[in-house]
Amino acid sequence: MTDLPLDRLPGLACGTGLDLLAEVTVLDLTTSIAGPYATMLLGDLGARVIKLERPGQGDDARAWGPPFLEGESLWFLAVNRNKESLTLDLRQAQGRAVFEGLLAKADLLVTNQPPAVQRKLGLDYATLSALKPDLIFTSLTGFGLTGARAEQACYDLIAEGYSGVMDLTGTPDRPAQKVGAPAADLLAGQDAALASLAALFARQRDGKGRLLDVALVESMTRFMACRILPYLGSGEVPARSGGTDSVIAVYQTFETADQPLTLGLGSDAIWRRFWQAVGKPERAEHPEEGSNAKRRAKRADLVAEIQTALAAQGRDAWLAAFATARVPAGPINRVDEVTADPALIDRGLFYRLEDEGRRLPQVGLGIQVDGAAVTPRLPPPLLGQHKASLLADLLGYDKDKIDALAAQGVI
- Cα distance between residue 300 and residue 249, in whole Å: 9
* Confidence at residue 243, expressed as pLDDT on a 0 to 100 scale: 87
Instruction: Report whether 29 contacts 109 (CB < 8 A).
Output: yes
The one catalytic residue in 185, 245, 346, 400 is: 185
Using the predicted structure, report yes or no on whether residue 244 has a pLDDT greater than 60: yes
Per-residue pLDDT tens over the stretch 194-224:
999 999 999 999 999 999 999 999 999 999 9
pLDDT-based confidence at residue 269 (cuts at 50, 70, 90): very high
Asked about 185 being catalytic, the answer comes back as yes
Nearest to 141 by CA among 165, 126, 125: 125
Residues belonging to the chain: 411
pLDDT value, residue 81:
98
Q: Are 302 and 296 in contact (CB under 8 A)?
A: no
Instruction: Please state, rounded to an integer, the average pLDDT across all residues of the chain.
Output: 96
Q: pLDDT digit string (tens) for 295-331?
A: 999 999 999 999 999 999 999 999 999 999 999 999 9
Instruction: Report the predicted TM-score, pTM, of the whole model to 2 decimal places.
Output: 0.95
Statement: residue 246 has pLDDT above 90 = no
Contact 72, 46 (CB under 8 A): no
pLDDT tens per residue across span 131-149: 999 999 999 999 999 999 9
Give the model confidence (pLDDT) of 28-51 as tens digits: 999 999 999 999 999 999 999 999
Q: At residue 1, does pLDDT exceed 60?
A: no
Helix (H), strand (E), coil (C) string for the chain: CCCCHHHHCCEEECCCCCCCCCCCEEEECCCCCHHHHHHHHHHHCCCEEEEEECCCCCCHHHHCCCCEECCEEHHHHHCCCCCEEEECCCCCHHHHHHHHHHHHHCCEEEECCCHHHHHHCCCCHHHHHHHCCCCEEEEEECCCCCCCCCCCCCCHHHHHHHHCCCCCCCCCCCCCCCCCCCHHHHHHHHHHHHHHHHHHHHHHHHCCCEEEEEEHHHHHHHCCHHHHHHHHHHCCCCCCCCCCCCCCCEEEEECCCCCCEEEEECCHHHHHHHHHHHCCHHHHHCHHHCCHHHHHHCHHHHHHHHHHHHCCCCHHHHHHHHHHHCCCEEECCCHHHHCCCHHHHHCCCEEEEEECCEEEEEECCCCCECCECCCCCCCCCCCCCCHHHHHHHHHCCCHHHHHHHHHCCCC
Which pLDDT belongs to residue 118? 97
